[in-house]
Every structure is written in C-alpha cells, then in structure tokens.
Amino acid sequence: MQVLQALLLTLGSLLAVNGQSFHLGRCPKPPVQLTFDVAKYMGRWYEIEKLPAAFELGKCNQATYTLKPEGVVQVVNAELLSDGIVNEIVGTARVKDPSQPAILEVSFFEGAPSAPYWVLSTDYENYSLVYSCTNYLGFFYVDFAWILSRSRTLAATTVEQLRSTLTYNGISVARMTATDQTGCAALSRSPAPAVAA
C-alpha cells in the first residue's frame, strides 16, 4: 500500500509541475451537446480560456478543423511562441459513437492513445465549450477544458456562463486562465484550411 501511495504522490507531483489539472477520484461525466452537427463545427476556433495544459507553450492558441472523407476531422492546432515562431501540430479526430456525435477522440501521434474531446456546448457561430478527461489507475484523473470563440475575443457574460456550466457539472474552474490573444499577426496571416464538401 505504501508503494502505491508513493507512486501516486510521485505522479501527482510530476503532473502538478507540468501544469496539468490533477484530481483524486474519477473523471466527471458532463452531458454533451445533443444533436451536435460536426460539419457546422468545422473551421477556426480561438482559445479564450483553458485549464492548464503542459503541451501549450505560447499564446494566440487556435484550432482549425477540416472535415475529410469518411467523417475524419483534420485538426491543426497552432500557437505563437515567445520567440515569434509559429508552432503547429496536425492530428485527426473521429466521432467515437455515431449516436453521440459530440464525443470525439483526437490523436496527434501515430500509435499513441487517442484523447477524449467532448463538445459540451456550442452555438457554432460564436462559442464552444470543450472538455477532456482521462482516468489513471482508477485513483486519479487529469482533465482539460477549453472555452473557444470564432473570434479572438468573447463576451464576458458568455465566458461566465460557460464557466458556470463546468462548475455545475463538477469540473473545477479554479485554475482556468485567460489566453493571450494579442499580437497574433503571424498566425492571422495563415489561411484557414477549406472545409471539404
């Protein structure tokens, strides 16, 4: 038992150092958006707020989704690093179960496990609320949440409503941080991929 506790403490310390949202227990299961339309969700989304994510290192974070054949979604995440370099990563997302199209799985590396991407709420034209959570060893979980917008700003009232949705569903927003979406000209010049018909 002491070995297990030591392992959990070590893992917890590593995750905390890496800026992840680490919690004891199991992932919350918030409801996702009903009648979600993947095609309407495609295009560019800008990150407004997020739970800490060690893999995000810069500012001006954005994601561009393009629908490909057989329902595969191309995902292009981009950010601007402190040295002015545009950092991009390309992955794919798929709907896990056609009866729940708002639950997707996304992967950025061949052979690596996919990560959950749950669309909790979106109006397709202004905002999106996304949640991801993974259980580990049945004792703890790591989660991520993103408030996204079709523009680099989003009304404060909308942000508060989306944060309230997370809280209502047992997701802590205490560590949510605003994303710097200023001085993003280098990313603004890159065109959004066209949506395939």
What single string gives the DSSP state of each residue in 36-69?
A: --HHHH-EEEEEEEES--TT--SEEEEEEEEE-G
How high is the pLDDT of residue 95? 94
Q: Domain coordinates of the chain in residue numbers?
A: 2-188
Q: Are 62 and 46 within 8 A, CB to CB?
A: yes
What amino acid occupies position 152? Answer: R
Domain 2-188 - what CATH class? mainly beta
Question: Quick one: tokens of 130?
Answer: 């996304």
Comparing CA positions, the residue from 120, 130, 144 lying closest to residue 36 is: 120
Q: Are 143 and 180 within 8 A, CB to CB?
A: no
The pTM of the full predicted model, rounded to 2 decimals, is 0.85
- pLDDT means over runs of 10, the chain (197 residues): 41 45 86 96 97 88 94 95 92 93 93 91 98 89 95 98 97 94 82 44
How high is the pLDDT of residue 96? 87
How high is the pLDDT of residue 131? 97
How high is the pLDDT of residue 189? 60
